[in-house]
Structure 1
Amino acid sequence: MRLSAPLLLLLALAPCVHGEEATERLASWMSGNYSSASQSRELHNYFNLNLHIVPIWPERRDGPWLYTEHASVKRPERPFRQRVLRLQPAPTGVLLHLYELPDPRRFAGAWRVKIPLNGLTPSDLLPRPGCNLLLTYDGQTQGYSGRTDAGSCANRMYGASYAQTDLEIYADRIIRWTKGYDDQGRQLWGAALGGYRFEKGRY
């Protein structure tokens, strides 16, 4: 569902909140369908990608929990990244816990169904504690942002040693910049000019 401009403005101008209220607001902001199409037209080195984020397990009281799926517009049926996120209050913001699925291909397209990840429970997931982020609110930008610690999120893709992610979340967009580094801190993969800009409701 695409939010109206007045509603997005009201959400963006909402004051800083804390605790469970902050996690609920952040989950509401994140939930939706996104596209990087406009950025891919501006910068030819950036792919046209879709991002889908949907709430899961609403009955649980240790969340909110979210399912996320990234895919190229050319291969929407073959997502290249599927994750489960858990939002938890923290003294200075919201802690985002990252989990992998035990059999990702089985759940490709789960954002479309009425009950996503039906049959799974948190105990089935594979936690990635070194890849968690602390998201803090900035009153000037009207958004949340955070970064994983250097060297903490192990990643062996394309010969890397670890990955580092910068994440910005606003009422109408998400900016995600993930880069892979070797043991010497040299970047091996990832966007060079900044994060992918996913615009909400553009799918």
Structure 2
Amino acid sequence: MRLMAALCGLLCSCLIWAESTPFVPRPGVPSEAAQPQASLAPLLDWFSGDFANAEQARDDDRFASASLRLMEIWPGRPGVRWIYAEQSLAERAPRPFRQRIYRFSEASGGRILMSELTMPRATDFAGAWRQPELLDSLTPQQLSLRQGCEIWLHRQPSGEYQGHSDIGRCTTDFGGASTLVQYLWIGPDRVRLLDRAYDEGGKLRWGSPGEGYLYLRKMTERGE
């Protein structure tokens, strides 16, 4: 029963019916470009690679064992960088339960905007983190933006990045909830994801256990 609860908690945080709109790439905004901007490095170096929460799942049975694979795509676009992401359960690695593309752009005030986009026929691209050629047919124009679910990232005194989606803007109609708040922490060797979904009365309906899923960079990438 505890395993089933962990699986349900993980899958609920991913099967979110948020409003999607066609994504139209646009050039940088001149007024922002003229201001000091946050560098996308080392953020994108940290938010790339092969991660897993195996240690967390072993020590806390509220969490299902899962992997997070992150790979940069479409390089060479000034001021904008893209990450392809796959999440999969350890026991069903070839079949990811969540696939997204994240668009990172610099903004004023030391902030970085992380936008979440979905792709058509996502299952066609499963495994692209190890076979990048699977994405050759995909273009930014084919993506749909999850409107209102953008995350503004700020660098903390510790050096890590932290952010969350705006409260009340990321809509969902899953599991009796009406709004979702997503929290994200990114460090050199770890990514932590925490979801909280509330109904119209502000009651928590579902979300990640505890302080969220903690994905650690696999030891081979850490040089251990």
Same fold (TM over 0.5): yes
CA shift, 1:185, in A, is: 1.7
RMSD: 1.7
CA shift, 1:62, in A, is: 4.7
Which whole-Å CA distance do the structure 2 matches of 1:93 and 1:62 have between them?
13
Match of 2:89 among 62, 72, 88: 72
CA shift, 1:157, in A, is: 2.2
1:136-175 map, 5 Å? 136-139=154-157, 141-175=158-192
The alignment status of 1:124 with 2:129, answered yes or no, reads no
Match of 1:84 among 95, 101, 110: 101
User: Which residue number in structure 1 is paired with residue 3 of structure 2?
Assistant: none
**Structure 1: runs of 5 or more not aligned:** 1-17
1:110 is paired with a residue whose SS is coil
User: Structure 2 counterpart of 1:107, which letter?
Assistant: F
User: Which residue number in structure 1 is paired with residue 47 of structure 2?
Assistant: 30
Which whole-Å CA distance do the structure 2 matches of 1:185 and 1:100 have between them?
27
Matched residues, number = 184
Cα 1:121–1:195, aligned 2, differ >3 Å: closer, same or farther? same
The alignment status of 1:187 with 2:204, answered yes or no, reads yes
CA shift, 1:84, in A, is: 0.5
Which whole-Å CA distance do the structure 1 matches of 2:155 and 2:83 have between them?
20
2:129 is paired with a residue whose SS is helix
Please identify, of 59-68 and 167-176, the stretch whose mean Cα deviation from structure 2 is larger.
59-68
Which whole-Å CA distance do the structure 2 matches of 1:137 and 1:62 have between them?
18
User: Structure 2 counterpart of 1:135, which letter?
Assistant: L
Which whole-Å CA distance do the structure 2 matches of 1:181 and 1:99 have between them?
22
User: Which residue number in structure 1 is paired with residue 67 of structure 2?
Assistant: 50
Which whole-Å CA distance do the structure 2 matches of 1:190 and 1:177 have between them?
7
The alignment status of 1:105 with 2:111, answered yes or no, reads no
Runs of 4+ in structure 1 deviating by more than 4 angstroms, as ranges, are none
Identity of counterpart residues, as a percentage?
33
The alignment status of 1:94 with 2:112, answered yes or no, reads yes
Please identify, of 113-122 and 24-33, the stretch whose mean Cα deviation from structure 2 is larger.
113-122
TM-score, normalised to structure 2, is 0.77
- Deviation string 1:76-109 (CA, Å, 9 cap, x unpaired) is 1221111101111111221111111121111111
Which whole-Å CA distance do the structure 2 matches of 1:116 and 1:51 have between them?
18
**Structure 2: runs of 5 or more not aligned:** 1-35
Q: Which has the higher contact order (CA 8 A, sep 6+)?
A: 2
User: Structure 2 counterpart of 1:146, which letter?
Assistant: G
